[in-house]
A and B are shown apart, each in its own frame.
Chain A
Amino acid sequence: MESLWSRIEPLLSQVTKPARYIGGELGAQSPEHVDDSVAWLLVYPDTYEIGLPNQGLQILYEILNERSDAVAERSYAPWVDMEEQMRAHGIPFFSLENHLPARAFDVLAFNLSAELTFTNVLNLIDLAGMPVRSADRSLEDPLVVAGGHCAFNPEPLADFVDCFVLGDGEEVIGEINEVLAAWKADRPIEGGDAESGTREELLRALSQVPGVYVPWCYRPEYAEVGESEQEGEADQEGQAARDDPAGWSLPALVGTVPRFAETPERVEKRTIPDLGAWPYPKQQLVPLIEVVHDRLNVELFRGCTRGCRFCQAGMITRPVRERPAEQVRTMVSRGLDRTGYDEVALTSLSSADYSGIEDTVTSIIDDPSCSGQVSVSLPSLRVDAFTVGTAAQIQRVRRTGLTFAPEGGTWRMRQVINKLIREEDLYAAVDAAFSQGWRRVKLYFLIGLPTETDEDTLGIVTLARQCVEIGKRYHNSVTVIASVGGFVPKVQTTFQWFGQNTVEELSRKVNLLREAARRVRGLTIRWHDPKATAVEGIASRGDRRTGAVIEDVWRAGGTFQEWSEHFDLQLWTDALAAHGLSLEQAVYRHRLEDEALPWDHISAGLHRDFLWQDWRDALDAHGLEDCRWTPCYDCGACTGFGIEHVVASAVPPAGGSQGTGQDLSTGGQVPVRFLVTAPVGAGSATSADASPAISVGEGKG
């Protein structure tokens, strides 16, 4: 297949940031395509700057190119100006390494990290010159594969993607490659025997690979019209008033069932037991232009046992698997040597929880070859003073700002979401930060959480204001930024049954916060657009019928919905209405205990009854300790896969789990109920009988 470069080159002086389309990064490969190898185009469906740093994509890129029977190239979504030029000049979606058209590949593999990129997935399939719906594609079209966190609710993209890959990709990508290579070898020459090598045969073969979900092999079944109304009536309390009867025009889902005898009823995610066996990326890509997270990234561990109930990443990546400390050090020193970066991020979902984090960090910054000019960052800091001490040590080169994530404004709220940080933990952390030279502290919060009251919402300002006061003890001028996101319930989490706050309710809460923060000098409130939060909710928990909505929005020009200049709520509400759906039904509605969920046939290892019990505990403001150093709660993630948490050190980190200073030597009662602490300032901790605003499925358990 011929390179498109000579046709692409003249367009580049007409577009913004033309270097997005040239490739040539350090670490980029230029694989030679040969007939019997499977050619993969790995795609991140957002801009180059957002997509290039994605470590998952880079890991698979290396693993595939190391195989003798595979080649892999990369691509990212061309920005709207480039897309316009490409469509005007008849240039299809292309790869960055050899500038080959996407249709020259055997597989288009998409990384799904965010729901708002779903319309881009359709757009790129179309830009590749293929029908967007799987059913309309032929043997000549590449297979469309998708993986990543959003694959845990695959149904909204089930009509467009041929197969989804669940969980860690390191092992399963090779298994998929083998199925494809065998199928390719058997594929009849054009006009040959139509019985073998059909697309259906390939899909059924792929459905036999553990961790691979082929939507075509499953059929969603819906209730007869009328049944769903009963469910609507059964739903009570704060919910009934919010439901628009018109939003119930579609029948309820009864289940998603296999179509063939050999198709598994449930697809379990893949989990690699030993991260140390996969020291990737070995050759992290160093882009020529500035991208997000532009630094060396070394993954400390995968999984998280904090048990924050809103956090999908923490739930679906269990159990904890730490990388051996020695391997971390080697990857850091080799990586810095190779790339010339002066910053390394030790990544994970909660890096300060890595066993032996202090020793690891100290050995990096004391490495003489770093010449004292390398800074280490821990992207997700734990909220406690101890962690700030470590941060002071590692950010001695560049001290820009520190970020903490208390997530909830009151202790009661944080018990509901199981983010067990006390006011005094946060204040001690902030005190440590300001006293050690930082002048800017950023705090992450969620609004629209289950059982949230205005007191909880306003607790955000109370906390942030107190942080400003602490800062003033050390500096004349300090900045505290409270960054507020609207909560989107995610599948395979404790909160998967929760009805998301409406756009109006989130906007009201944002205004409450802005009003309360108005006269606090040094405090800035930043917030995420509640309209975008609502749209994330559509795809987050949608069923297969959501696909038509996504297709409509794409056809109406709705690409790059993650970008505020392109986001348009109207496109989504129009498309929902056209297909008999509404935000009320798709997003704002609480799910019921016995309701069939569109992702019930997909498993991240977590037992549904564990999640339901955790949901009930949440509504009772009842917290659970980190299970890494306490007895097992039997969530299912370890036992289901026959593996356990892998820690690099048997000693829990100083400061205790979640920074709560708990005594870990004896373990705790299971589950542990945390006592309400003394109130700090107005509007913080409340009494235990503070009634939850909602009560879901009451009387059914």
Chain B
Amino acid sequence: MRIRFRFSKVGKVRFTSQRDVARMWERALRKARLPLAYTEGFSPRPQLSFGFALPTCAESIAEYLDVALDPGRPETASVDVYGLPSQLTPLLPEGITVSESAVVDPKSGSLQQQVTSCSWVMNFTDVTREALAERTAALLEASVVPIRRERKGREADDDLRPSVLALSVPERTDQDALVGWGLDRGNQPGVELIAELVTQPRGVRPRELVAGLVAVGRSPGWDGTRTGRTGVGQDEIGTLPVLDRACRTQQWIERDGARWEPLALRAIPSEPDRAVYASVRAS
């Protein structure tokens, strides 16, 4: 049996890596005494499968995890799948809140295969809304956006443009949707950018989008970054945007010509007041 979870990763815990999150989940699932299915071999591990890895330092309100339960164990049939979020959240570190769970068909493919793109809310400092909008427009108009990216420890030149599905700089920052998640941006006023980036055939990270936004501010003869009076880098458009925070808000699956989330969110759990959350879920 395969169970899919949706969870968040916000606050201090965002400084941990995807590998760390996997290990936190392993420990939580063992603490919950779930009848996990293990891999074969000399070093058996629980079978956990995440989608496109969330970069260290990025936050998310849309993380997913598939967990295989051992069909040979009698407890598997009696697992209360819908009760798992309230059971697991207190067993995970602060900032990781499990919001949804459901049984999924193992034949439907892994998250890695299914998810085709992700939506992000990115917060920039040291840049005006107008300048960021200008960069955004330039990037969308460009036919090619050359960036250098690191792959398996080696740098390679790549074209970012086909990986960017949508970009927008909203008139007003509407953070209400994020407030319930404990995303504290109180003392970091900045400019917000909403982006949809592909994960197939290769995922694009927020940091690479920033590289693209910088790249479009330089004409072919550009000879390097100038440093302005404030000590912040500048190019032909203006000061370089500094990425303060990035939060993944959705992951998308394409099915029958429409976009779906792997598990839709029914209610925003209140974080960190998990007791309240548990009672909401129970009702």
- Interface residues, chain A, with chain B CB atoms under 8 Å away: 6, 10, 12-13, 18-19, 21-24, 26, 286, 288-290, 337-342, 369, 371, 373, 397-400
In the assembled complex, the CB of A292 is this many whole angstroms from the nearest CB of chain B, namely 14
| CB neighbours of A398 from chain B (8 A) | 42-44
| CB neighbours of B274 from chain A (8 A) | none
Instruction: Given A340-B28, A342-B30, answer yes or no on A400-B43 (Cβ-Cβ < 8 Å).
Output: yes
Within 8 A of A (CB), among B44-87: 44, 56-57
Quick check: B31 and A18 within 8 Å, CB to CB? no
Contacting residue for A397 out of B20, B27, B31, B44, CB 8 A: B44
Quick check: A341 and B13 within 8 Å, CB to CB? no
> With A and B bound together, what is the CA distance between A6 and B44 in angstroms?
41
Q: Does B260 contact A (CB under 8 A)?
A: no
Closest residue of chain B to A397 (Cβ to Cβ) is B44
Instruction: Given A12-B57, A26-B93, A373-B38, answer yes or no on A18-B27 (Cβ-Cβ < 8 Å).
Output: no
Quick check: A288 and B93 within 8 Å, CB to CB? yes
In the assembled complex, the CB of A683 is this many whole angstroms from the nearest CB of chain B, namely 35
Per-residue CB contact flags for chain B residues 1-44 toward chain A (1 = under 8 Å, else 0) read: 00000000000110111011001101111110101001000111
Q: Does B279 contact A (CB under 8 A)?
A: no
| CB neighbours of A21 from chain B (8 A) | 15
Instruction: Given A12-B15, A340-B91, answer yes or no on A18-B57 (Cβ-Cβ < 8 Å).
Output: yes
| CB neighbours of B29 from chain A (8 A) | 340
In the assembled complex, the CB of B63 is this many whole angstroms from the nearest CB of chain A, namely 15
| CB neighbours of A399 from chain B (8 A) | 42
Contacting residue for A19 out of B16, B30, B35, B43, CB 8 A: B16
Q: How many pairs of A and B residues are in contact by the CB < 8 Å rule?
A: 66
> With A and B bound together, what is the CA distance between A21 and B91 in angstroms?
22
| CB neighbours of A342 from chain B (8 A) | 26, 30
Quick check: A24 and B38 within 8 Å, CB to CB? no
Quick check: B42 and A340 within 8 Å, CB to CB? no
| CB neighbours of B219 from chain A (8 A) | none
Supplied contacts A22-B13, A288-B16, A399-B42, 7 more A-B pairs, CB within 8 Å: A12-B57, A19-B20, A23-B12, A288-B20, A340-B27, A369-B33, A398-B42
| CB neighbours of B19 from chain A (8 A) | 290
> With A and B bound together, what is the CA distance between A399 and B41 in angstroms?
10
Contacting residue for A288 out of B13, B43, B91, CB 8 A: B13
Quick check: A290 and B20 within 8 Å, CB to CB? yes
Contacting residue for B30 out of A6, A26, A340, A400, CB 8 A: A340
Chosen A-B contacts, 5 in total, with CB atoms closer than 8 Å, are: A6-B187, A21-B15, A288-B20, A338-B31, A373-B30
Closest residue of chain B to A342 (Cβ to Cβ) is B30
Contacting residue for B31 out of A6, A10, A23, A340, CB 8 A: A340
Contacting residue for A13 out of B16, B27, B28, B57, CB 8 A: B57
| CB neighbours of B43 from chain A (8 A) | 398, 400
Closest residue of chain A to B19 (Cβ to Cβ) is A290
Q: Does B150 contact A (CB under 8 A)?
A: no
Quick check: B28 and A24 within 8 Å, CB to CB? no
Interface centre among B15, B33, B43 (most CB of A within 10 A): B15
Q: Does B94 contact A (CB under 8 A)?
A: yes
| CB neighbours of B42 from chain A (8 A) | 398-400
| CB neighbours of B94 from chain A (8 A) | 24
| CB neighbours of B187 from chain A (8 A) | 6
In the assembled complex, the CB of B55 is this many whole angstroms from the nearest CB of chain A, namely 10
> With A and B bound together, what is the CA distance between A369 and B57 in angstroms?
36
In the assembled complex, the CB of A163 is this many whole angstroms from the nearest CB of chain B, namely 34
> With A and B bound together, what is the CA distance between A533 and B42 in angstroms?
36
Per-residue CB contact flags for chain B residues 87-98 toward chain A (1 = under 8 Å, else 0) read: 000010111000
In the assembled complex, the CB of A77 is this many whole angstroms from the nearest CB of chain B, namely 18
| CB neighbours of A6 from chain B (8 A) | 187
Quick check: B16 and A289 within 8 Å, CB to CB? yes
Closest residue of chain B to A14 (Cβ to Cβ) is B57
> With A and B bound together, what is the CA distance between A290 and B95 in angstroms?
18
Contacting residue for A339 out of B13, B15, B27, B35, CB 8 A: B27
Per-residue CB contact flags for chain B residues 175-205 toward chain A (1 = under 8 Å, else 0) read: 0000000000001000000000000000000
| CB neighbours of A18 from chain B (8 A) | 15, 56-57
> With A and B bound together, what is the CA distance between A338 and B32 in angstroms?
10
> With A and B bound together, what is the CA distance between A563 and B20 in angstroms?
24
Quick check: B31 and A286 within 8 Å, CB to CB? no
> With A and B bound together, what is the CA distance between A12 and B56 in angstroms?
10
Interface centre among A12, A22, A400 (most CB of B within 10 A): A22
> With A and B bound together, what is the CA distance between A84 and B57 in angstroms?
20
Quick check: B57 and A24 within 8 Å, CB to CB? no
Closest residue of chain B to A22 (Cβ to Cβ) is B12
In the assembled complex, the CB of A291 is this many whole angstroms from the nearest CB of chain B, namely 11
Contacting residue for B23 out of A10, A290, A373, CB 8 A: A290
> With A and B bound together, what is the CA distance between A79 and B19 in angstroms?
21
Quick check: A24 and B44 within 8 Å, CB to CB? no
> With A and B bound together, what is the CA distance between A10 and B17 in angstroms?
17
Quick check: B31 and A337 within 8 Å, CB to CB? yes
| CB neighbours of B17 from chain A (8 A) | 19, 289
Quick check: B20 and A289 within 8 Å, CB to CB? yes
In the assembled complex, the CB of B28 is this many whole angstroms from the nearest CB of chain A, namely 6
> With A and B bound together, what is the CA distance between A355 and B122 in angstroms?
60
Closest residue of chain A to B56 (Cβ to Cβ) is A18
> With A and B bound together, what is the CA distance between A121 and B205 in angstroms?
39
In the assembled complex, the CB of B193 is this many whole angstroms from the nearest CB of chain A, namely 17
> With A and B bound together, what is the CA distance between A373 and B29 in angstroms?
13
> With A and B bound together, what is the CA distance between A288 and B94 in angstroms?
11
Closest residue of chain A to B75 (Cβ to Cβ) is A371
| CB neighbours of B95 from chain A (8 A) | 24
> With A and B bound together, what is the CA distance between A289 and B31 in angstroms?
18
| CB neighbours of A290 from chain B (8 A) | 19-20, 23
| CB neighbours of A288 from chain B (8 A) | 13, 16, 20, 24, 93
In the assembled complex, the CB of B183 is this many whole angstroms from the nearest CB of chain A, namely 13
> With A and B bound together, what is the CA distance between A23 and B19 in angstroms?
17
Closest residue of chain A to B95 (Cβ to Cβ) is A24
> With A and B bound together, what is the CA distance between A286 and B92 in angstroms?
11
Closest residue of chain A to B30 (Cβ to Cβ) is A340
| CB neighbours of B30 from chain A (8 A) | 340-342, 373
Question: Which A-B residue pairs are the 9 nearest by beta carbons?
Answer: A340-B27, A18-B15, A340-B31, A22-B12, A340-B30, A19-B15, A19-B16, A13-B57, A398-B43
> With A and B bound together, what is the CA distance between A398 and B39 in angstroms?
12
| CB neighbours of B244 from chain A (8 A) | 10
Quick check: A24 and B12 within 8 Å, CB to CB? yes
In the assembled complex, the CB of A372 is this many whole angstroms from the nearest CB of chain B, namely 10
| CB neighbours of B57 from chain A (8 A) | 12-13, 18
In the assembled complex, the CB of B201 is this many whole angstroms from the nearest CB of chain A, namely 27
Closest residue of chain B to A340 (Cβ to Cβ) is B27
In the assembled complex, the CB of A15 is this many whole angstroms from the nearest CB of chain B, namely 10
> With A and B bound together, what is the CA distance between A24 and B96 in angstroms?
12
In the assembled complex, the CB of A241 is this many whole angstroms from the nearest CB of chain B, namely 50
> With A and B bound together, what is the CA distance between A132 and B117 in angstroms?
54
